[in-house]
């Protein structure tokens, strides 16, 4: 209620992006990744959108995110936790039919015990260590995990076998990714030798979907492209090279706006805002906007960022405050309190892209998006 800033999320852009992702995924299932408050788009809203558009597999990082989305998932939609489950949440996950990745033997034992308590099978996805060296079962432990599952098929359902690539969005990592693909293939044969054919083999994120289509397997885990962005400029180039006839069809879902809160005249020579970070070089007119670093408008955009008002780009002047920023509106003929301000998105012919924003604040798109504060209302629009 009474929010000073809000983020509109476009349903039609989401549908288009999903359509293109499905086309690229071919036969393999699309699992949407909703971690980081759905890359800043709002966890609940994105879950509803995904389910409404027939997505049947969702991935989150943690048990607490799974807990938040479950009420919107319906019966046919599976939820997978890729990362953290506190031990006390394992029984809950199993009782809810939520699957989770297993990257250590203790977790596998915990899953077995919890399954026995709950009286329901634990759905596990074994994560193989293939070279990222973050989480993942090393070869010996992987073999041991297969044996444990083999002896406990009443309590453990081996639903998936997966891995994650260590930077598929950069060509400089090519050798490392290729090695990971080979090691993943080895893990697949090991599990086949142990007599398993898990329902889902999955490895690819957005970058791998474009650059290593051979890693699509049964399912792809797609985050950033759902929201209309490429994981890196390299992957955009790669996409355009491969699909020259349909260059980048992905669309941003979000439009971040606020309103002009006040208009103020400042005489030449006066300092503006806190301290001496900006001195007015001429008689000028400023607008105050109720958005600051508390909302995710990075402080490093002080004297650097820009906003749109009345279809014109205005420079941020002075320091970005916790809840406010000032911009130079001297160039506008008319500007009034209540005018729409665009922080990300289009207004008239002008546009502020996430990339431009991210570049000058030294962030990657992923980071900028997830830093859009969760308290900003997300509003679904067509
Ligand atoms: C975030 C994440 C993805 C999705 O990555 P994108 O680059 O956003 O497509 C896939 N798998 C895992 C394990 C992840 O953590």
CA distance 235 to 164: 17
Determine whether the shortest distance from the Cβ of 305 to ligand 1 is under 6 A: no
CA distance 331 to 196: 68
The DSSP code sequence of 265-293 is: EE-TT-B-SSTTS-B-SSSEEEEEES--G
CA distance 205 to 212: 10
Q: Which two tokens stand for residue 307?
A: 């906003």
DSSP β-bridge partners for residue 328: 286
Determine whether the shortest distance from the Cβ of 160 to ligand 1 is under 6 A: no
Cα–Cα distance list, 288 to 268, 281, 283, 323, 363 (Å): 18, 18, 16, 10, 25
CA distance 120 to 259: 52
pLDDT in tens, the chain (382 residues): 899 999 999 999 999 999 999 999 999 999 999 999 999 999 999 999 999 999 999 999 999 999 999 999 988 999 999 999 999 999 999 999 999 999 999 999 999 999 999 999 999 999 999 999 999 999 999 999 999 999 999 999 999 999 999 999 999 999 999 999 999 999 999 999 999 999 999 999 999 999 999 999 999 999 999 999 999 999 999 999 998 877 889 999 999 999 999 999 999 999 999 999 999 999 999 999 999 999 999 999 999 999 999 999 999 999 999 999 999 999 999 999 999 999 999 999 999 999 888 888 888 999 999 999 999 999 999 9
CA distance 226 to 230: 9
DSSP β-bridge partners for residue 342: 257, 308
CA of 223 to the centre of ligand 1 (A): 6
Question: Could you say which DSSP state residue 331 is in?
Answer: T
Type and span of the H or E element at 44 = helix 43-52
Q: Which atom of ligand 1 is nearest to the CA of 224?
A: 8
Determine whether the shortest distance from the Cβ of 221 to ligand 1 is under 6 A: yes
Mean pLDDT, the chain, rounded, equals 96
Determine whether the shortest distance from the Cβ of 149 to ligand 1 is under 6 A: no
Phi (first) and psi of residue 63, to 5 degrees: -60, -35
By most ligand atoms within 8 Å of CB, the mutation choice from 99, 206, 221, 232 for ligand 1 is 221
- CA-based nearest residue to 214, from 185, 176, 243: 185
Q: What is the pLDDT of residue 168?
A: 96
The DSSP code sequence of 54-75 is: T--EEEESSHHHHHHHGGGTTT
Q: What is the pLDDT of residue 35?
A: 98
Cβ count within 10 A of residue 241:
10
Q: For the chain, how are helix, strand and coil distributed in percent, rounded to 5?
A: 35, 25, 40
Phi (first) and psi of residue 284, to 5 degrees: -140, 175
Q: Which two tokens stand for residue 282?
A: 């001429």
By most ligand atoms within 8 Å of CB, the mutation choice from 31, 32, 50, 59 for ligand 1 is 59
Mention the CATH class of domain 254-381: mainly beta
Q: What is the pLDDT of residue 153?
A: 96
- CA-based nearest residue to 256, from 379, 87, 82, 95: 379
Type and span of the H or E element at 182 = helix 174-193
Mention the CATH class of domain 11-243: alpha beta
Phi (first) and psi of residue 343, to 5 degrees: -100, -40
Q: Are strands 262-266 and 284-289 parallel, antiparallel or unpaired?
A: antiparallel
Say yes or no: do domains 11-243 and 254-381 share a fold.
Answer: no
Residue 268 burial (C-beta neighbours within 10 Å; 0-12, 13-18, 19+): exposed
End-to-end alpha carbon distance in the chain: 21
Q: Quick: pLDDT tens for 263-322.
A: 999 999 999 999 999 999 999 999 999 999 999 999 999 999 999 999 999 999 999 999
Overall residue count recorded for the chain in this entry: 382
Question: Could you say which DSSP state residue 377 is in?
Answer: P
The domain limits of the chain are 11-243, 254-381
Phi (first) and psi of residue 226, to 5 degrees: -55, -40
Cα angle value 208/211/214 (rounded, 5°):
70
Phi (first) and psi of residue 239, to 5 degrees: -60, -50
Question: Whole-model pTM?
Answer: 0.96
Q: What is the pLDDT of residue 359?
A: 84
Determine whether the shortest distance from the Cβ of 163 to ligand 1 is under 6 A: no
- CA-based nearest residue to 287, from 257, 315, 322, 329: 329
Q: What is the pLDDT of residue 285?
A: 97
């Amino acid at each position: 209620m009474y929010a000073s800033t809000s983020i509109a999320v476009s349903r039609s852009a989401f549908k288009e992006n999903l359509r293109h992702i499905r086309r690229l995924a071919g036969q393999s299932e699309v699992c949407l990744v909703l971690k980081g408050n759905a890359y800043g788009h709002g966890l609940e809203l994105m879950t509803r959108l995904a389910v409404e558009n027939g997505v049947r597999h969702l991935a989150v990082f943690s048990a607490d995110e799974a807990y938040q989305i479950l009420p919107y998932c319906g019966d046919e939609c599976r939820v997978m936790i890729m990362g953290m489950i506190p031990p006390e949440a394992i029984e809950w996950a199993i009782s809810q039919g939520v699957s989770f990745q297993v990257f250590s033997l203790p977790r596998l034992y915990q899953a077995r015990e919890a399954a026995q308590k709950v009286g329901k099978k634990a759905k596990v996805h074994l994560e193989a260590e293939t070279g990222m060296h973050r989480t993942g079962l090393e070869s010996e432990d992987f073999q041991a995990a297969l044996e444990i599952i083999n002896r406990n098929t009443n309590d453990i359902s081996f639903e998936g076998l997966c891995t994650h690539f260590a930077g598929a969005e950069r060509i400089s990592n090519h050798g490392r990714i290729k090695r990971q693909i080979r090691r993943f293939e080895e893990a697949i044969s090991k599990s086949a030798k142990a007599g398993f054919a898990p329902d889902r083999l999955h490895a690819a994120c957005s970058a791998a979907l474009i650059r290593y289509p051979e890693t699509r397997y049964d399912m792809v885990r797609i985050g950033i492209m759902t929201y209309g962005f490429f994981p890196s400029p390299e992957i955009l180039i790669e996409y355009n090279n491969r699909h020259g006839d349909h260059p980048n069809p992905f669309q941003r879902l979000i439009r971040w706006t606020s309103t002009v809160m006040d208009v103020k005249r400042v005489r030449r020579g006066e300092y503006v805002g806190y301290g001496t970070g900006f001195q007015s070089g001429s008689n000028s007119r400023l607008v105050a906007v109720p958005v600051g670093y508390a909302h995710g408008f990075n402080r490093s955009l002080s004297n650097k960022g820009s906003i749109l008002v009345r279809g014109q780009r205005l420079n941020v002047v002075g320091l970005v405050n916790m809840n406010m920023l000032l911009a130079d509106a001297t160039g506008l003929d008319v500007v009034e309190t209540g005018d729409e301000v665009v922080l990300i998105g289009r207004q008239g012919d002008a546009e502020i892209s996430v990339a431009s924003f991210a570049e000058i604040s030294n962030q990657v798109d992923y980071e900028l998006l997830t830093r859009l504060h969760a308290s900003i209302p997300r509003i679904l629009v067509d």
